Amino acid sequence: MNTKTSRRAFLKVSVLASGGMLLSFNSLLLGKSFTREAMSLSAESFELNSFIKIATDGTITLMSANPEFGSNVKTSMPMILADELDVDWGKVTVEQADFYPERFQRQFTGGSQGIRLGWKPLRTAGATARRMLVEAAAKTWSVPVEEITTESGMLYHRGSGKKAGYGEMASLAATLPVPKDVQLKKLSALNIIGTSQKNVEGKSIVTGKPLFGMDYKQDGMLIAMVTHAPAIGQAIKSVDDKAARAMPGIKDIFTINTLRDDYERNAFDTTTFTEMVVVVGNTTWEVMNAKKALKIEWQLAPEKKIMVKGWGGSTQPVVIPAGLESTVTHKAKMKEMSAKPGNVLRKDGDPEGAFKTAAKIIERTYTAPYLAHNTMEPVNCFAHVTAEKAEIFGATQAPEFIMQTLVARLGLPKEKIHIRLARMGGGFGLRAYCHHILEAALISQKVNAPVKMVYTREDDMTYGIYRPTYTATYKAGLDEKNNLIAFHVRGGGVPEHAVHANRFPAGAVDNYLAEGWEINSNITIGAFRAPRSNFIAAAEQSFLDELAELAGKDPIAFRLELLDRAKTNPVGKNNDYNPDRYAGVLKLVREKSNWDQTKPNISRGVAAYFCHNTYVAEVVDLRLDGNKPVIEKVVAGVDCGIVVNPDAAANMGEGAIVDGIGNVLFGEMTFKDGVPEKNNFHQYKMVRQKDAPGAIEVHFVKNEEEPTGLGEPLFPPIFAAVANALYRASGKRYYDQPFEKQIQVNRSRM
C-alpha cells in the first residue's frame, strides 16, 4: 500500500470563530472546500458536508456525506478517520450532512462502495490533521517535530514531560500550512479499525427517535397521496372527484405530470407513472378515504420515445412500448428467445467444435421472476416549495441524480433547492430512483404549502421499478476424463439480461461463449440488491453444482480445480476476478463448515460468487420437515479486504443471507394485463423469523487488501446454495424461482 499521498488539492484548513481547527476534505475525492464560509461559523453551529471539526474540548466531529440506510457507514467511516487521527473513539461524534450540490459533486449510497471509496481519503484526512497538530505542539514547545508522539487525542513530548490535548493545539494547527505529503499508519499500528463498535445511531433507532421521513412533521404541513393507473400501460382518461372533494379535511385534488415527454432524463429518472391524481388534505386518514372515493376512467397509453442520458454521457432514445403485459406472455417470449442465438458478449476458442467432440454434454435453463423492493418504510417525502426556494426532507440513496430534474421542473436554480437526508427505512436500490422527491416537490408547489407525500403499501408495491425477470441457459461439455472443455451461457430477460461475460468460469475454460438478449417492456425496472448478480449467480452456481456431479467430483473441489486453471494458465485477458482470492473463500468455508463431515438428516449445498469487488462462498445446512425446507445453518467465507467493523460487517452479511433466502423461496411479482397481481404482504410473501436459519456464521479472510463492499456480495450466492442443498435433500433440481411452489408440488407427488 502506498502510504504517501499528496494533499495539495485535497485538504483545506481554517480556524473556527470559537477557536479550534476545521479541516475540510472530500470523503469521495469529489468535494470542494468552502473555508471562507467555515471561518464565520462557531463550533456549535457548524453543519457543512464532509468537514472534520476539532473543537477546543478535543471533540472530533465528522459530517457524514453518504446517506444511511443500514449499511452502517455512519459508524465505520468515522472509525477510519479516528484511527489515523489517533483519538479516543469515545470522543468522536457523527452528524448526517445535508445534500449540498454547490459543495459536492457526488453523494451516493449504493453499489457497496462507501467504505471502498472512503478508505484512502478518510485515512489521509485523519493523518493530515494529526500531523498538523504535531507540528503545532512542536512549535509551541520549541522541540523537533520528530520528538512529538500522539495517543488517544493527546500530544506528548516525552523528553520534557509536556503534554496537551488536541483541542489545546487545534487553533494554532489551523494556521499552519497543510502538509503536501503525509505518512499513514502501518496497518499493524491501527487500533480502532478491526474492532467492533456499536452503531452510532443504534440507541436512537431502538428508542424510536425521529430519524426517518415518516417521522417528519412541520407546522401547517398537509398530507398528500397519489393514485396511479391500476395497470402499467394505462393513462388517465377522466377524473370525477366531486364526492372526494366534499369529504372532511380535503384541501385540493388535481393531476400532475412529473416528467414531460421532451425532458432528457438521466439514468435515475426512472418512473413508471409520470401522470397521477393527487389528493391533498389535513390528515392521512382523511386523504386515504377521499382517495377511495375518486372515480377515474383509464385508457391505454400510447407508445412513447424518451431520451435518456447514460453513464457514459451519451444520450440515447428509449422506446416505451404500448400495451398491457402479462407474466404468461413474458414466459412464452423468453422461451422463444432462449432458443435463438443472442448477441455475442465474449468468445474464447472454438466452443462449437468442442461441443461436437465432447463425451458428455449437459444443458439447463434457469428462470427468475420480477421482484418488488418492499422496503419496510413505504416511499414518502416532505417538501415545501415557494417561489424563492425548495426545502425537502426525504430518504434517498442518490440525491444528486434528482437535482437536475428538480431544477428543470420547479424552475429554481440548484442553489435554492435544499435536500435534507433522512435515514432510510430500507433502500435495496429502490431509493436511488427519486420520483417520490419530485412528486412531493411538485405537489407542494401546486398547493403553495408544506406537504408530506405518503404512499400506502399498495401504492409502493404496484408502482413499478422492479427487479427484472430473467432467464439463462447453460451448456457444458466434458471430455472422456471429465475435464471441462466447453462452456456456453445465453442469458436474457425483460427488459435486460444478467450475463457478466468476463466473470468466472470465463478464463478457466478453453472454449467459452457468452451471449445476451433482451425483450423491451413498459414495466419499469431498476437496481435491486446486487443488480443482475442476484440472478446470474443463482443460475451459474446451480449449474456448476450439477456439472460437478456429472463429472463425479466434489462441488468445492470442482470449483477449485477450475480456479487453479484460471490462475496457472488463464484463457483471455479480461477476466475480472482474482483466482487466488476466489479460491480462498472456498477453502475458508470448506474448513469452517466442516464440509467433509456428514451430518445426520442434514443436506448441504455450496455456492461462491464475486461481485462488488468482494469474494463470497456460502454453505447451507438444510433438512426437510414434510414439505417445508428448514435451514439449520449457513456458513459464509468472505474476502472483502480489511474489515473495518467486524460485528457490523457480520451483521450486514447475516441480513443479506436472510434476505436472499426469502427471495429465492418466496419472492415473486406477476402481472396480468399490466396489473401487478400482488399489492400487499398478504399476497407477496416475505421472509419471516421462522424462515431464517437457526444459525449464521460469517468468517472473514484476514489479509491487508483495501476494503471492498459488503452490503450486496453475500446476497447472490445464497440463492444457489439453497438450491443445491434442496437437491441433496429432495433429489430434485430447482430451476425456476421462487422454489416454494415447486417444493409443494414435488412433495405432493411423492
Instruction: Give the DSSP per-residue string, 515-529.
Output: EEEE---SS-B---S
> Are 507 and 537 within one domain?
yes
> Are 32 and 136 within one domain?
yes
> Are 47 and 122 within one domain?
yes
Specify if 534 maps to a domain. Answer: yes
Query: Of 392, 423, 454, at which residue does a domain stop?
Result: 454
Check residue 99 and report its DSSP letter. Answer: B
Specify if 313 maps to a domain. Answer: no
Specify if 324 maps to a domain. Answer: no
> Are 30 and 150 within one domain?
yes
Specify if 374 maps to a domain. Answer: no
> Are 579 and 669 within one domain?
yes
Residue 60, phi then psi, degrees to nearest 5: -105, 130
> Are 741 and 626 within one domain?
yes
Tell me the whole-structure pTM to 2 decimals: 0.91
User: Rounded to whole angstroms, how far apart are CA atoms 299 and 181?
Assistant: 65
Q: Report the SS3 class of residue 440.
A: helix
Rounded to a whole number of angstroms, the CA Rg of the chain reads: 28
In one-letter notation, the amino acid at residue 47 is E
pLDDT in the model for residue 107:
63
CA-closest candidate to residue 60, choices 75, 41, 72, 78: 78
Low-confidence ranges of the chain (pLDDT < 70): 1-51, 100-107, 744-750
> Are 474 and 560 within one domain?
yes
Domain span including residue 219: 213-305+379-454
Contact partners, residue 142, CB within 8 Å, separation at least 6? none
> Are 217 and 202 within one domain?
no
Which three cell numbers mark 708?
Answer: 471492498
In one-letter notation, the amino acid at residue 389 is K
Q: How many domains does the chain have?
A: 3
In one-letter notation, the amino acid at residue 123 is R
Q: Where are the beta strands (DSSP E) in 152-259?
A: 154-157, 162-165, 181-183, 222-227, 234-240, 250-257
| Cβ–Cβ under 8 Å, residues 334 and 370 | no
| Cβ–Cβ under 8 Å, residues 140 and 132 | no
Residue 128, phi then psi, degrees to nearest 5: -65, -45
In one-letter notation, the amino acid at residue 361 is I
pLDDT in the model for residue 748:
46
Query: Of 401, 422, 454, at which residue does a domain stop?
Result: 454
User: Rounded to whole angstroms, how far apart are CA atoms 740 and 738?
Assistant: 6
Specify if 227 maps to a domain. Answer: yes
> Are 153 and 290 within one domain?
no
Structural element, H or E, at residue 467: none
User: Rounded to whole angstroms, how far apart are CA atoms 235 and 237?
Assistant: 6
CATH code at position 107: 3.30.365.10
What sign does the dihedral 546-548-549-554 (CA atoms) show? negative
Give the residue carrying C-alpha cell 468468445: 347
Specify if 320 maps to a domain. Answer: no
pLDDT in the model for residue 437:
96
* Secondary structure, 3-state, 540-570: HHHHHHHHHHHCCCCHHHHHHHHHHHHHHCC
User: Rounded to whole angstroms, how far apart are CA atoms 531 and 516?
Assistant: 16
> Are 438 and 541 within one domain?
no
| Cβ–Cβ under 8 Å, residues 91 and 445 | no
Specify if 329 maps to a domain. Answer: no
pLDDT in the model for residue 385:
98
Specify if 284 maps to a domain. Answer: yes
First-to-last CA distance in the chain? 59
Query: Of 183, 206, 229, at which residue does a domain stop?
Result: 206
User: Rounded to whole angstroms, how far apart are CA atoms 360 and 368?
Assistant: 27
> Are 84 and 157 within one domain?
yes
Pairing of strands 265-266, 304-309: parallel
> Are 480 and 435 within one domain?
no
The residues that bridge with 240 in the sheet, in sequence order, are: 295
User: Rounded to whole angstroms, how far apart are CA atoms 465 and 461?
Assistant: 9
| Cβ–Cβ under 8 Å, residues 115 and 79 | no
Structural element, H or E, at residue 574: none
Which three cell numbers mark 67?
Answer: 446517506
